[in-house]
Structure 1
Amino acid sequence: MVHLILKRLSRDCTVRSYLIRYTALFLGMTLLVFLPFWLTHRSLIKKVDGMSQYIVYLRYMGQYLRRVLSNLAHGSFALPSYDFSIGMGDDIGQIVRFHPFDFLSVFVPSAYTEALYEVILVLRFYAAGLAFSVFAFGMVKGAAWMNVLSGSMVYVFSGFMLIRVVNHPIYAAPFMVLPILLLGAERMMKKEGCLLFVLSVFLGFWSNYYFMYIMSAALLVYVLIRFPEVFQSRRGREFAGLFFRMVGAYLLGLCMSMMTLYPMIRRYLSSARLPQEADALELIVYEDKRRYIAWFLNLISPFQSSGNGTNLNYAVCVLPCLAALFGLVWKAHRSLKKLTIACLLVLLIPGAGYVLAFFNRENSRWVFLLAMCCAMTVVVAADCFADLSRRQVMWICALSGGFLFLVLLQTILIGANVYNLTAAAELLLCLALLLGPAVKGRGVPAARGCILAVTCISTLIHSYMTYAPGFGALTRQYVKAGKTLSSYENYVRSKGASLIKDDSFYRIEGFNVKHGRENSSIFSDYNSTSEYNSILNADMMDAMLSQNNLGLGAVTTMRGLDARPVALNLAHVRYFTAYTAYGNGCVPYGFSREPVYGNRKVSVYANEAPLSFGYSCTAFITREHYDALDPLEKEMVLLEAVVAEPVQKNGADPADMLRKAGFAEIDGPTGRIEREEVALPSRGKNLTYEDGVVHAAKKGRMTFSWNERAGFDAYLLLEGLDTPDEISNLTLRTRGFRTTINVRSEEQLYNLGKEDYLVHLGYGDSDKETKARLTFPKEGSYAFAGAKILYMPMEAFDERIDALNQYPLEDEKIEDGRISGTVHFDSARILVLSVPQAEGWTWTVDGKTLKPEGSPGEGMYLLTGNIMYQGIALPEGSHTISLTYETPGSMEGRLITALAILAFCVLAFIRMRSRTRRNHA
């Protein structure tokens, strides 16, 4: 396919020679671009996203694929679909994303995943430049190979690629797919076949459906702009025909991806990450007016962002090339001009970014579209510098003069910005070369060579100033080379899990999970309570938010259960890990006071009377009464009754059925939460506190006292807390340990809408006064209305755990995706399993498969128990229970994909037959 398209190469360059030149230049540039990583002994794996998500998923995918192949070799065709090590248990499709390059993981042992990760990242860069080259040669007749090389370097090493893609490798998907998608659209408009277009749509949805949404919007604009140029006559009839052909081909490519896409869509629609409302004014005008100028300053400046991830940072030649392009008569390259203007308009209108972010908070992940336009501008405008018209010179002087003036004005009014000053110096040197004797009078080859040299040198300057110490220093945010896997192996939870000798099913909670290690359970294969993923279980988030549990740090981040005794038992946590140096001050109530396993680094404490994996109750509370309680009251009531909700969000309320079946109904806990005001000091170390505002210098500290009470679990409530930045990680030190409080402002993309933060302080063995120190990490003014200590009585805790354990699930067999056991009830009871509610589970009771609405006539009714868990109401007697999991939508997705692939093969066969007939005619 690539060979058929690259046949349009200019006469002085064959496919092979271009590939050799491109590969040689790419490898040389890559070595120099990423040189700061090697000089500072850093890997290409970022400490947060790369470490916590992508390398873990890549390693897991290799293991998963090898397991599937092993099963197939032994005659088992069942695909594993559920794993309890993913958070508290989740669909494997959450982390096995099937990005095409990730399939290489099947060939690489887990121990070499770090090297594989870096190789795949470089391959993505390489493929992006190759895809651009294919498009450039396909669109520009007689395009010079040197100009295409220049454009590909602009495209591949743009700021978005250097900053965002190295952080999030999956963000490279649109850079690879977009050129092929647009070329496929061109071929359809010119009636040269639809196969390339279908394949590109399939690849786009398969790689990343979010970016394919953006590319689909861009595709529509592209076709509308290109159509009048491609069709000079009979436009009405041609448009109708093109519309139906392209829609059909698009739907075919979409259907081919349904095997993975359909389950993803179903999960997304059931998640908490749905479209968010935005203020109308914010969609029209940026709140930060500097963004209207910043994009222009940062267009060719290294490292700088123009707000909300708008990393442009193109090679310096882009600005004079844009000027040369627009200095041509309007008809010349009219489509490219219109597309560039469209991208710039999107850049200036917040509402456009909001729409392209799928109606969520405005972001600039779409700027790969502008990178495509700028790179194509370099391809078509490079030759112009051999013989510039007067109009082009005026455009170059105007744009370059405007840029230099803004940099000078910025320096006078605000101060020197080394990145913008560097760009200004680069621009002056670039203009001196392009407008001076180096090019003038020497013809087109000199212009092409000069543009390529300037592009490469500018790119290397930008990459150095982005990564190197003393400038952007982004290498500091990346893991030390060779330490990625070992840092997981040496992590406190992983170390603790490796010490435990227990063959039964259990979960592990760790104290104060370090950000970036939330997915350690996936790496080390143990069952945990933390997870870091773009889409978390919506019911789990609902439960955590309703109880104001600090363990939920963001829409994407579950750090655990904040060591809360009730939450730990409901989740069937039987072991708690902590640094040995912390002592047992952080150990939750109900766990052993001395470690049952441990060493000098980590200690493991056992839950001495854990709640069963499957426990039962005869009382319930409605969601309405539950919501009327305070957060800690909500936790307390879960030891006395089950919060009963329908399995499906729009399902019938089970309350009436439960009342008729004789279940007791309560409206709150029998215990009472006690409260005590905290006297906050007006001054601390490097901070002052007055009128509900903390004015802090960097690492300002506030020290206050609170009272431990014997027999009570204590919690600190921080009220009306907000941060001057988007994210601030406050730290609380008390009782010999430290807790991190992740505070996010309303503007932060993944915020939870919280103003009050409830921090678990632990159980009091005696009455005494204790000091606490709250540290504010960044300089600024923090809103902070006040603080209270809340006390949960624990005197009846053990008795209530025993009551819930009286009629448990027995003889249980718990495997990934399969659960079975028996119950023996002396009366009708509600059974709750410590398995997060999810659509893919199927219940079978006494050999009968239950639907979500259950079998009320037989006293069986499926429900969501305690906000986030699997539950079922059962009549008295003995019952055999089994649950099996299948990815929701997987069967339908596979069927649609199979039919679509068959249709594609038929189209390909017809196309091949017709081509053969034409060749023989």
Structure 2
Amino acid sequence: MKTFKNRVSYYFRFTLLFLITALIIYAPYLVLKKSLVWEHDSYTQHLKAMIFISRWYRQSLRALISGNWKAISTYSFTFGYGSDALTTLAYYGVGDPFYLLSVLVPARYIYLFYSFLIVFKNYLSGIVFSALCRSRWPEKAHDGGILAGSLIYTFCGFVLITCMGQPIFLDAIIVFPLVLLGIEKVRAGQKPWLFILAIMLATVSNFYFLLSIVLMAVIYALFRYFPIEKGALGRRFGEIGTMFAAGTVGVSMGGVILLPMILTVLGNKRVDMKPAVGLFYRQLTCRNLPAAFLACEEIEYGALSYAGTALLCVFLLFLTKGYLKQKLQFLLYTVLLFVPAFGYLTNGFAYPINRWCWAYSAMIGMLVAEMWPLLFEMTPGQKRKMTFLLALYFVVCYILSWSVGITFLIPMFVTTLTLVCLLQSQRADFPEPAVAAPAAAPAATDPASAVQAAAPAATDPASADQAAAPAVAANAPADDKDFASAARNGRRFRRAKRCILYLTIAGICANGICKNSPDYSIRVSTYKEQKYLAMPGPNSGASPANDRNLWINDTSQIAASIGHDTTQFERVSNTQTDYWYQNSSILNGISSTQSFWSINNPYILEFLDKLAVSDANNNAWQFTNLDNRAVLNELASVSFLYSMDPVRLPTGYEETSLDPTTANSVYPNRMPLPLGYTYRKTISREKFEALSPAERQEILLTHAVLDNPGVLEDKASPESLASSLECRKVPFTVVSLSPDAVQTDDNTFVVTAPEATVMLSFDKLTGGECYLQMKNTDFRETNKAEIYSDDPAFDANNLYTKAMWDNDVTLYEKYMLYRSLYNNNKAGNVKIKAEFYSGSEWVDENTVNFIVPDNEQYYSGRRDFLLNSYTLRKGIDSIVLTFPTTGVYHFDEFSLIHEPLTSYETNVAALSAESLQNTEIRQDPSSFVSTGVTGDITVSENKLLCLTIPYSEGWKAYVDGEPAVLENVNIMFSGLMLSPGHHTIELRYETPGFLYGICLTAAGILLFLLWLILSIRPNRRRRRPAPESVSEPDVSDNGPAPDGDEIPEMPQMPASSRTT
């Protein structure tokens, strides 16, 4: 009963402190009526994913209840061009147990549920972490440290910064301590049920963190188990074997999510990129990491940001003898923060970042819990050294960072205040006479200390006789004055310890305020107001140029304008990337050319690369449109365009919107290709890749591209194919509009000042489209010191000389230059702007966004671009290029190409002449998942049916009821070879690996149940009790210890020092 009361008391205090801390940290959101939905990833991805998952779960549940199993599907055409919903959303919560509750929440209230989950998961992480720490340090003396450590973990920088924008990451900070608690239970001789369930949760909740959770758990276990104490080798290795078997069972139980994701991730382009990984992170990252221990800043997408108490505990750790394993663990984890290879490994081999910092935070939280009693028992030497170390830390951070901001200075001030108070809160400053008092006296002043006073030796398991000593001590002569002084000092000491706990909370709140208060950061302004997430009323609206309301967007307006039937196939696009409402198509049941998800179909990305599409993003997980290129829009079956500027409408679209009197700027395609159209000829991929990007685009109007062209193959050579095309190169001259931009050869520009410009002049082009081709783009950034070095490679016009550097550049300017070089990374991307002119009249502009290869997180490998001029209605005769950054811009080919599109309509008509009719995508009107595609077609000769469905091994095709081979057509799409005659076409979809994943999950559950049954069978031999040393506290709980894991005896602690 006493243990239960202590547990209830602890969790009540934690809950109260959590609520107070959370209220302070998130107060700006409440005052400003902001939601917890960040306008970037949260709004564009996570919230919309939750709405989709909620609808999908409800529809699947209805299908299960009604017995209509065939209505359950995992494919949706609303994810860009179409994608697997299970693998696309596994990163966004499909396997998250909390998302099951979304079934009960209507879509209009999902944003409230979303915000609630962020706070609730945050709270739950602290509860689980508290349970872990209380299992390791059950003594009352550690309660205050466990409270402090749990709050530090709960409100670490990973939570305050990263998880606020990516709330699904909160699963990691819940599951990880649960896994560690499972390890502790196995280590204590208990059954591995918690460990199995924790591993299963890690597998299904978010596969992204599974590898890092397992890896960090293994490291934790190594520190807990080694070196193994004498005589326990067999037992310890038996426990390790148990954990390995239990982990295998847990992973198997999550196989229904894991196996499809493994197959998907292996084909993901982000994994295929294999970025260059250095020995250490870039210099700026390494210099800023020490200050980031306190400052609320994100470094390499990892945030630490701890209260100052954590820093003081780290100092004390290295000022105290013993604790060898804790010191090694801290040093190892800290070194790994600087090593990109470890970040690359824990990030699933995508790119190197420190998103594993939640494990570092767990280590810090446990360190605070462990070192807490020693904070109040410091020697004079330790106090002097700690003061010196704090001052040294500030100086080092200032020197390394060159300067420190308010986000560091405020936490540093709170840390200094904590140290000052701590130095005045030492146990030695509150002496208690060596006398005992009646048991009723301490109970009157502090109920918690009464229990300790009744059993002053309870912390010493080796002294059974001392447990009965109070009766003897009570008979000792005691002076009332001494007893009153002792009680008074005891109360003062407990208040002093509470003061340090409150200062710890103040340090946490300081970080939260620095990040969330509009006085110190613009962050709160980037969160959506609640009114823009609520379902609008019947008379409300939103500007199509302003993505303010979740429910009124480009695809919703297209759907309203065309009277879209959500059970039918329509694909839409947008002419202006600035006005794209990302992922809005999943809310409206319509297919689009836009997608912003971490996992994308690799065939789509390859198509964009081969056709040199200049997208607004050009990264591996986000694509917007097809640069308004008429041919590509047509081949992708784009039927409607949303456009705020009709001048950007490609050839073939109506020039009057469907609703000319409203803001709904929706323009229909006059002759859209359907979901399925046919080719008479094919070519191999080798011939296709021998052509230039512009030639590849045009050849797709007449020839389909296949790995095995078959009987329809055109035997002509690539040269012969190219000669039959209309596109041609246009000669031009380059004129520098400013002396800071010089063309040193046909393919190289040297730029010595930002925003320098050149002009390309040529004979006037009319009709069709014009492309600026940049092949194998490369960029080398230069700084002023290099520009003034007399090196013509950096200053071709010799505008800036070394003599000018010595004489004309002031010391202050040089200082500011070197300071900027010291503190700033190089450009991660350059946006080259092209403005198109007809004479002196500005026509339009377009931009190529080149991501430099050194930008590992965003670089997608795309270096070839065809920058579109849009339809040449007025004609153009010049292009002005603006280079944004100083440096050397080099291209293997820099040319101008004209695509007249004179045969465009003829070729489109030929493709659609014999096309798929009576097409149904069998899309559920509520969840927008599709159970398959059906249609019929009649062809007059052997033809290839191209289906504008992104190719996937999950599709199975049937022609006239018989299985057929589904081909990969035109790099991106699917297709079927057809013989002359009438055919019925059916496509069915099954997530690759899903069936095997179900079997793996079933096997895991059966193994778990079998293990459970065998462990509780009646005739089972009675379990051997765990060795006594297992139940003893850790070596590090109360002081330095030998090299082994346990110590034979714990030192006795005064009763008053064991109360928080």
TM-score by length of 2: 0.78
What corresponds to 2:852 in structure 1? Answer: 745
- Shift in Å at residue 525 of structure 1? 2.1
SS at match of 2:648: coil
- Shift in Å at residue 738 of structure 1? 5.7
Specify whether residues 123 and 323 from structure 1 end up closer, same or farther in structure 2 by C-alpha distance, changes over 3 A only.
same
SS at match of 2:505: helix
- Shift in Å at residue 28 of structure 1? 1.5
SS at match of 1:832: strand
Q: Find the aligned partners of 2:222 and 2:398 in 1 and give their Cα distance.
A: 40
What corresponds to 1:879 in structure 2? Answer: 983
Select which of 797, 807, 812 maps to 2:919.
812
Q: Find the aligned partners of 1:679 and 1:436 in 2 and give their Cα distance.
A: 78
What corresponds to 1:791 in structure 2? Answer: 898
Specify whether residues 234 and 408 from structure 1 end up closer, same or farther in structure 2 by C-alpha distance, changes over 3 A only.
closer
User: Are positions 1:676 and 2:730 aligned together?
Assistant: yes
User: Are positions 1:283 and 2:278 aligned together?
Assistant: yes
Per-residue deviation, residues 85-140 of structure 1 (Å, max 9, x unmatched): 11111112122622122222111111112111111111111111111101010111
- Shift in Å at residue 156 of structure 1? 1.2
Q: Which amino acid aligns with 1:453?
A: Y
Residues 82-97 of structure 1 mapped to structure 2, 5 A cutoff: 82-93=75-86, 94-95=88-89, 97=94
Q: Find the aligned partners of 2:1020 and 2:521 in 1 and give their Cα distance.
A: 57
- Shift in Å at residue 790 of structure 1? 2.0
Query: Is 1:618–1:663's contact at 8 Å kept on the other side of the alignment?
Result: no
Query: Is 1:326–1:392's contact at 8 Å kept on the other side of the alignment?
Result: no
Residues 461-472 of structure 1 mapped to structure 2, 5 A cutoff: 461-472=510-521
Q: Which amino acid aligns with 1:812?
A: T
What corresponds to 1:526 in structure 2? Answer: 590
User: Are positions 1:250 and 2:247 aligned together?
Assistant: yes
Query: Is 1:641–1:666's contact at 8 Å kept on the other side of the alignment?
Result: no
Q: Which amino acid aligns with 1:799?
A: T
Q: Which amino acid aligns with 2:947?
A: L
User: Are positions 1:183 and 2:195 aligned together?
Assistant: no
Select which of 846, 851, 857 maps to 2:960.
846
SS at match of 2:665: strand
What corresponds to 1:857 in structure 2? Answer: none
User: Are positions 1:600 and 2:662 aligned together?
Assistant: yes
Specify whether residues 170 and 844 from structure 1 end up closer, same or farther in structure 2 by C-alpha distance, changes over 3 A only.
same
SS at match of 2:686: helix
Specify whether residues 409 and 711 from structure 1 end up closer, same or farther in structure 2 by C-alpha distance, changes over 3 A only.
closer
Query: Is 2:80–2:585's contact at 8 Å kept on the other side of the alignment?
Result: yes
What corresponds to 1:649 in structure 2? Answer: none
Q: Find the aligned partners of 1:188 and 1:797 in 2 and give their Cα distance.
A: 70
Specify whether residues 908 and 703 from structure 1 end up closer, same or farther in structure 2 by C-alpha distance, changes over 3 A only.
farther
User: Are positions 1:267 and 2:264 aligned together?
Assistant: yes
Q: Which amino acid aligns with 1:866?
A: N
Q: Which amino acid aligns with 1:846?
A: D
Per-residue deviation, residues 767-820 of structure 1 (Å, max 9, x unmatched): 4546767584xx765747696432112011111111112222233222223112
Task: Say which is worse superposed, 819-828 or 523-532, in terms of deviation.
Answer: 819-828
Q: Find the aligned partners of 1:787 and 1:498 in 2 and give their Cα distance.
A: 43
Query: Is 1:732–1:775's contact at 8 Å kept on the other side of the alignment?
Result: no
Q: Find the aligned partners of 1:466 and 1:254 in 2 and give their Cα distance.
A: 37
What corresponds to 1:557 in structure 2? Answer: 622
TM-score by length of 1: 0.89
- Shift in Å at residue 450 of structure 1? 2.9
Specify whether residues 545 and 768 from structure 1 end up closer, same or farther in structure 2 by C-alpha distance, changes over 3 A only.
closer
- Shift in Å at residue 202 of structure 1? 0.3
Query: Is 1:564–1:588's contact at 8 Å kept on the other side of the alignment?
Result: yes
SS at match of 2:986: strand
Task: Say which is worse superposed, 479-488 or 209-218, in terms of deviation.
Answer: 479-488
What corresponds to 1:907 in structure 2? Answer: 1011
Q: Find the aligned partners of 2:375 and 2:1019 in 1 and give their Cα distance.
A: 42
- Shift in Å at residue 384 of structure 1? 1.2
Q: Which amino acid aligns with 1:477?
A: T
Bigger relative contact order (CA 8 A; separation at least 6): 2
Select which of 749, 758, 764 maps to 2:866.
758
- Shift in Å at residue 709 of structure 1? 2.3
User: Are positions 1:64 and 2:64 aligned together?
Assistant: no
Select which of 334, 338, 341 maps to 2:331.
341
- What is the alpha-carbon root mean square deviation over aligned residues? 3.0
Q: Find the aligned partners of 1:38 and 1:781 in 2 and give their Cα distance.
A: 46
Q: Which amino acid aligns with 1:347?
A: L
Task: Say which is worse superposed, 592-601 or 821-830, in terms of deviation.
Answer: 592-601
SS at match of 2:69: coil
- Shift in Å at residue 680 of structure 1? 5.8
Specify whether residues 432 and 484 from structure 1 end up closer, same or farther in structure 2 by C-alpha distance, changes over 3 A only.
same
Select which of 190, 211, 220 maps to 1:213.
211
Specify whether residues 101 and 790 from structure 1 end up closer, same or farther in structure 2 by C-alpha distance, changes over 3 A only.
same
Specify whether residues 666 and 774 from structure 1 end up closer, same or farther in structure 2 by C-alpha distance, changes over 3 A only.
same
Specify whether residues 614 and 106 from structure 1 end up closer, same or farther in structure 2 by C-alpha distance, changes over 3 A only.
same
Question: How many aligned residue pairs are there?
Answer: 875
User: Are positions 1:23 and 2:21 aligned together?
Assistant: no
What corresponds to 1:576 in structure 2? Answer: 641
Q: Find the aligned partners of 1:617 and 1:244 in 2 and give their Cα distance.
A: 60
Q: Which amino acid aligns with 2:278?
A: L
Query: Is 1:328–1:391's contact at 8 Å kept on the other side of the alignment?
Result: no
What corresponds to 1:898 in structure 2? Answer: 1002
Q: Find the aligned partners of 1:684 and 1:32 in 2 and give their Cα distance.
A: 53
Query: Is 2:603–2:972's contact at 8 Å kept on the other side of the alignment?
Result: yes
SS at match of 1:611: coil
SS at match of 2:269: coil
Select which of 673, 679, 684 maps to 1:617.
679
Select which of 475, 487, 511 maps to 2:524.
475
What corresponds to 1:499 in structure 2? Answer: 561
- Shift in Å at residue 287 of structure 1? 3.6
Q: Which amino acid aligns with 1:644?
A: L
Query: Is 1:439–1:447's contact at 8 Å kept on the other side of the alignment?
Result: no
Q: Find the aligned partners of 1:916 and 1:74 in 2 and give their Cα distance.
A: 44
Query: Is 2:683–2:714's contact at 8 Å kept on the other side of the alignment?
Result: no
What corresponds to 1:434 in structure 2? Answer: 422
Per-residue deviation, residues 822-841 of structure 1 (Å, max 9, x unmatched): 23222211111111101111
Q: Which amino acid aligns with 1:57?
A: A
Select which of 107, 110, 114 maps to 1:113.
110
Specify whether residues 131 and 516 from structure 1 end up closer, same or farther in structure 2 by C-alpha distance, changes over 3 A only.
farther
Specify whether residues 903 and 919 from structure 1 end up closer, same or farther in structure 2 by C-alpha distance, changes over 3 A only.
closer
Specify whether residues 50 and 758 from structure 1 end up closer, same or farther in structure 2 by C-alpha distance, changes over 3 A only.
same
Query: Is 1:841–1:884's contact at 8 Å kept on the other side of the alignment?
Result: yes
- Shift in Å at residue 710 of structure 1? 2.5
Q: Which structure has the larger Rg?
A: 2
Residues 650-729 of structure 1 mapped to structure 2, 5 A cutoff: 654-655=708-709, 658-659=710-711, 667=718, 668-669=721-722, 670-676=724-730, 682-683=736-737, 692-694=749-751, 709-718=765-774, 720=777, 722=779, 724-727=826-829
Q: Which amino acid aligns with 1:820?
A: T
- Shift in Å at residue 690 of structure 1? 6.8
What corresponds to 2:691 in structure 1? Answer: 629
SS at match of 2:643: strand
User: Are positions 1:454 and 2:446 aligned together?
Assistant: no
Q: Which amino acid aligns with 1:141?
A: P
Query: Is 1:489–1:495's contact at 8 Å kept on the other side of the alignment?
Result: no
What corresponds to 1:162 in structure 2? Answer: 160
Query: Is 1:87–1:527's contact at 8 Å kept on the other side of the alignment?
Result: yes
SS at match of 2:702: coil
Specify whether residues 167 and 707 from structure 1 end up closer, same or farther in structure 2 by C-alpha distance, changes over 3 A only.
farther
Query: Is 1:681–1:703's contact at 8 Å kept on the other side of the alignment?
Result: yes
Specify whether residues 295 and 759 from structure 1 end up closer, same or farther in structure 2 by C-alpha distance, changes over 3 A only.
same
What corresponds to 1:586 in structure 2? Answer: 648
SS at match of 1:320: helix
Residues 322-337 of structure 1 mapped to structure 2, 5 A cutoff: 322-330=314-322, 332=323, 334-337=324-327
Q: Find the aligned partners of 2:622 and 2:529 in 1 and give their Cα distance.
A: 24
- Shift in Å at residue 360 of structure 1? 3.5
Q: Find the aligned partners of 1:257 and 1:171 in 2 and give their Cα distance.
A: 18
